[in-house]
Amino acid sequence: MTSSPSPADLYCVMGNPVAHSRSPAIHARFAELTGQRLRYERRLIELDGFVQGVRDFTAEGGLGCNITVPFKFEAPAMATVCSDRVRLAGAANVLSFQPDGSIHADNTDGLGLVADITRNADVALQGARVLLVGAGGAAAGVLGPLLEAGAAHVTVANRTVAKAEALVASHSALAALQKAELLALSPQAVEADFDIIINATASSLAGAGVPVPASVLRPGSLAYDMMYGPAAQGFMDWASAHGAVARDGLGMLVEQAAEAFALWRGVRPPSAQVLEEMRQSAS
């Protein structure tokens, strides 16, 4: 008697909108390259339906999901166990459903950014002076990992300064532990230049241009937009015009996925190869 093959392990990305998500393609390629047998789907979740969406997915036997806009802040409340990174960021982008029914939440966005800067772009964070522009969810997800990666100084600059101050306050203990200097400023008040400038604002989506003066750049600075594709182009053109090295967030996307894949499967995928393939197919 022949038995039918067991279904492949099930994962997904949940968001709204989610049609644009490149996570299914990235995870499918990781699975192919590591010989892991899994299915990775896209799930469009009603805006008020996140809790039900997670329940439905686990009832289907789902083993893990990535969480994207706008549910990253709701995700920690679904978890039995939150990593330190989730507690610091107040947001999660990875849920893992354990055999005992518990749910583990993690946030791999900052790890992805750090991996892309240090490994793929080959720029040191250890001892670096970093300007983080923005203080919303995207910035909150990466500040802890930037400090843990050894940045010597981080200025958080945001249009609404009170939000930058709140982010700095919630990270002050970590900064002290890391012996890093951490400041909150309004974008107009930033006077120094920096080794690394990270755009974590939505200003390009709002068509509002670059939210900091060009004096933050110097030749050879790394200017990094956490977005990719057309949304990152304005910032990257501005940075290149001022002699900085411009980089978009495609590598961060691939590396945060690689961290999630490693958490779920216990296998590290060849993320640099997959990033290179994605850049080739886009050009």
189 binds ligand ATR (CB under 6 A): no
DSSP 3-state of 63: coil
Catalytic residue among 27, 72, 85, 247: 72
Q: Which of residues 39, 153, 163, 218 is near ligand ATR by CB under 6 A?
A: 163
CB atoms under 10 Å from CB of 93, counted, come to 28
Least separation in angstroms between residue 32's CB and ligand ATR is 31
Cis, bond preceding 213 (omega within 30 deg of 0): no
DSSP 3-state of 97: strand
20 binds ligand ATR (CB under 6 A): no
> From its phi and psi, is residue 157 left (phi > 0), alpha (psi between -120 and 50) or beta?
beta
Active site residue 72: yes
d(CA 75, CA 158): 25
Among the listed residues 47, 46, 48, 45, the one whose alpha carbon sits nearest the alpha carbon of residue 62: 45
Residue nearest ligand ATR (C-beta atom): 136
Q: Is 251 exposed, middle or buried (0-12, 13-18, 19+ CB in 10 A)?
A: buried
110 binds ligand ATR (CB under 6 A): no
188 binds ligand ATR (CB under 6 A): no
Closer residue to ligand ATR (CB): 87 or 159: 159
Amino acid at 44: L
221 binds ligand ATR (CB under 6 A): no
Stretch of 20-28, 96-104, 129-137, 261-269 lying at the interface with ligand ATR (CB under 6 A): 129-137
DSSP 3-state of 82: strand
206 binds ligand ATR (CB under 6 A): yes
Stretch of 2-10, 26-34, 54-62, 194-202 lying at the interface with ligand ATR (CB under 6 A): 194-202
Amino acid at 45: I
158 binds ligand ATR (CB under 6 A): yes
Catalytic residues: 72
By the criterion CB under 6 A, which residues form the site for ligand ATR?
Answer: 134-139, 158-160, 163, 200-203, 206, 208, 211
